[in-house]
Amino acid sequence: MKYLIVNADDFGASRGINRGVIEAHRKGILTSASLMVNAPWSHEAAELMQAAPELSVGLHADFEPMRKDKRANPEQRARAELRGQFDRFHELTGCLPTHLDSHHNVHREPELLPLFLELAREFDLPLREHSLVRYYSNFYGIWGGQTHLEQISPENLERILRNEIGVGVTELSCHPGYIDPDFLSGYSTEREAELAALCHPRVHQALETQGIELIGYHELGRFQSPSLCPAEGENRAPAA
């Protein structure tokens, strides 16, 4: 069987992104999201998820603000930052995250990966690229510094479903949303194109044709424990 988790990064970053995530879940194929707990609209995202109980929500750890802090003991500060964001998730949502990942996939960095693995093992949570879930990140609209909307079109998403989703569980990462004048980002019109593709009727039909079942991270227990795979670095894909 082919199982697909469609996960939106950056939940909470802006009102436009929050709106896009919920719309992609209700009208499209989105099953999961990753919450930036210290982002300006994280409170709103936490409220929205209460009205979407079928949406899996994980922690999208953001280390960009911490990197500007040049004080000593970087490992100690990184561990405190990650644990603090984990606690913040519980404070905002009243529950634990269904999975762990990070903004710009910084958990891949050698000095940060052990901290993420430690937290994932402690709470038996799937960590991106270190669980039974294969990670697919190529549904993305900027390559080589240039916008390529054809990469995030309904037609290309159909192709991905046909050619890239194999037996087992795959996470397809995405970044749906609406342009928000209060949120400056180098990835803006691309978010609306992703949203349109995720909600396109042809994509729903492609899932049925290819025999792909949509699931969320909260459903991984149906298959086996989400505990970490022994082979670190499996399922490596380009950072989005």
The closest of 1, 2, 5, 58 to 30, measured between CA atoms, is: 5
CB contact burial 99-110 (16+ within 10 A = b; e otherwise): bbbbbebbbbee
pLDDT of residue 224: 64
pLDDT of residue 71: 65
- Rounded Cα distance between 13 and 82, Å, is 18
Tens of pLDDT along 33-84?
A: 999 999 999 999 999 999 999 999 999 999 987 876 666 577 889 999 999 9
Q: What's the mean per-residue pLDDT of the chain? A: 91
Element (H, E) at 80: helix 74-93
Tens of pLDDT along 100-158?
A: 999 999 999 999 999 999 999 999 999 999 999 999 999 999 998 999 999 999 999 99
Instruction: Look up the pTM and report it.
Output: 0.91
pLDDT of residue 72: 58
Angle value at C-alpha 54, between 64 and 128, nearest 5 degrees: 35
Going along the chain from its start, the domains and CATH numbers come out as 2-222 (3.20.20.370)
Measured on CA atoms in the order 200, 204, 210, 216, is the torsion positive or negative?
Answer: positive
Do residues 56 and 121 touch, judged by C-beta distance below 8 A? no
